[in-house]
Amino acid sequence: MANALDGRASGTDSVRGGAVDLRAAAPVPLSPAEIERELASVRRPLREASTLPARFYHDPAIYRHELMTMFSKMWLCVGREEDVARPGDHLTRTVGEESVIVVRDADGRVNAFHNVCRHRGSRLLSESSGSGLRHLQCPYHAWTYGLDGALRVAPHMEDARDFDRSKFGLNRVRLERWDGFLFINFSNEGPGLMEFLGEMGTKFARYGMGGLRRGKRIDYTVATNWKMLAENYSECYHCALIHPELNRVSHYTSGETDLVNQATVGGWMDLRKDEYQTMSLTGKSNRPPFKGITADDQRRIHYYIVYPNLLLSLHPDYVMTHTIWPDGPGRSDIICEFLFDARDVARPDFDPSDAADFWDLTNRQDWRVCELTWQGTASGGYTKGRLSSLEWMVHIFDNFVADRLAGRTEPTPLERPPG
């Protein structure tokens, strides 16, 4: 996925996961009834509700349970279709002990497979992305698979009784597309992607996200729990203090939450002045707004979490995404990408810096306070706090976490705060 426009802020060359086996039959840390009791204060109306208890950010057993109930059973955004544009293009993503290969084969089909050899279980690929792949060869004993997953070569297996090569192809992972995004699901159960997304599946069709192209990528590694990143994204209570540059362009109390379902929570915020065009250090843009968006869209930025790992931010002239990959209770790898009209990206003078520089500064401000929060909540001096009226989306997200940990797949109805 790397190209000349890419940037790397910190971390390693691959997106990794914590050493947790999603298939392991480890004891559930809490029963659904115990979860409901422990999170009873999270369930209360916003004006009475608490934050998640500190344990839910730090306990490895709860982290394991999150991988089992969310990351192994829900649709995960792994990238963009342009990442595998040509035969042989591929990417890998890992969460816990599960790793997936996404690859385009010679017939143009995009396939997703478990990154596991069917012989003795070696990982097949370790790099995060690449191109020009002709086959998948195990680095241990050279079992070799086509890009369609079929086993082509299994050296010295001629004497193995009743060995049927056709039964030892790579195990597939569910893969579906939405507006140019690629999603995988490690579970064979549950709804398809569009059914899961519900209203979100068509809500922003006017932006034509399927035709957008990446103009910049920045990777981060942050020493915090993945939920703290999502909670931070869900509120601007902190913006006046932490983000003076952002608050100058978009006031921290503007906008509202407008969609809550099984897949997402989100809403919009306003640009602060009529002459402002987008989120940048100057409020000005290097490009025109997207064709087809509404007059309201040209004055708003739409912010959505697509559970559990995609943060989607739609601006008048670009779309920004963050995909979060937890790597244990206290570490998260984040891929931040900026998507633009394909015609703008193709221009020789294309310059994404107005968007990327603004959000790189803002991201780093966010990551710092998320790390401080991770450190502070580890203390015996913290148990759980209370929520402001500006933290409505945080309340919704925390209830999503509570729902999934308790085995629910539909969101708990919440009383909307007044105002």
Return the pLDDT at 28.
Answer: 52
221 in Cβ contact with 371 (< 8 Å): no
What would the pLDDT profile of 25-66 be if each residue is shown by its tens digit?
444 567 889 999 999 999 999 999 999 999 999 999 999 999
What would the pLDDT profile of 316-346 be if each residue is shown by its tens digit?
999 999 999 999 999 999 999 999 999 999 9
Structural element, H or E, at residue 103: strand 98-104
CB proximity list for 346: less than 8 A, separation 6 or greater? none
Please tell me the least confidently modeled range out of 16-25, 105-114, 401-410.
Answer: 16-25
- Quick check: 377 pLDDT over 60? yes
- Average pLDDT score, the chain: 93
Dig out the tokens for 180 from the structure.
């140019």
- Quick check: 260 pLDDT over 70? yes
Average pLDDT value for residue range 219-245: 98
- Quick check: 202 pLDDT over 80? yes
Under the banding of pLDDT at 50, 70 and 90, the label for residue 419 is low
Average pLDDT value for residue range 86-100: 97
Return the pLDDT at 335.
Answer: 98
List, in order of start, the domains of the chain with CATH numbers: 30-73+199-405 (3.90.380.10), 76-178 (2.102.10.10)
Instruction: Spell out a b/e string for 163-193, using b for 16 or more CB atoms within 10 Å of the CB, else e.
Output: eeeeebbbeebbbbebbbbbbbbbeeeeeeb
What would the pLDDT profile of 145-156 be if each residue is shown by its tens digit?
999 999 999 999
- Quick check: 287 pLDDT over 80? yes
- Quick check: 269 pLDDT over 70? yes
Return the pLDDT at 30.
Answer: 77
Beta strands in 251-379 (DSSP E): 256-260, 264-270, 300-306, 310-314, 319-326, 332-341
The β-bridge relationship of strands 212-222 and 6-8 is: parallel
Average pLDDT value for residue range 286-308: 97
- Quick check: 6 pLDDT over 50? no
- Quick check: 105 pLDDT over 90? yes
Among 181, 218, 222, smallest CA distance to 325 is for: 222
300 in Cβ contact with 315 (< 8 Å): no
- Quick check: 261 pLDDT over 60? yes
Return the pLDDT at 29.
Answer: 63
Under the banding of pLDDT at 50, 70 and 90, the label for residue 415 is confident
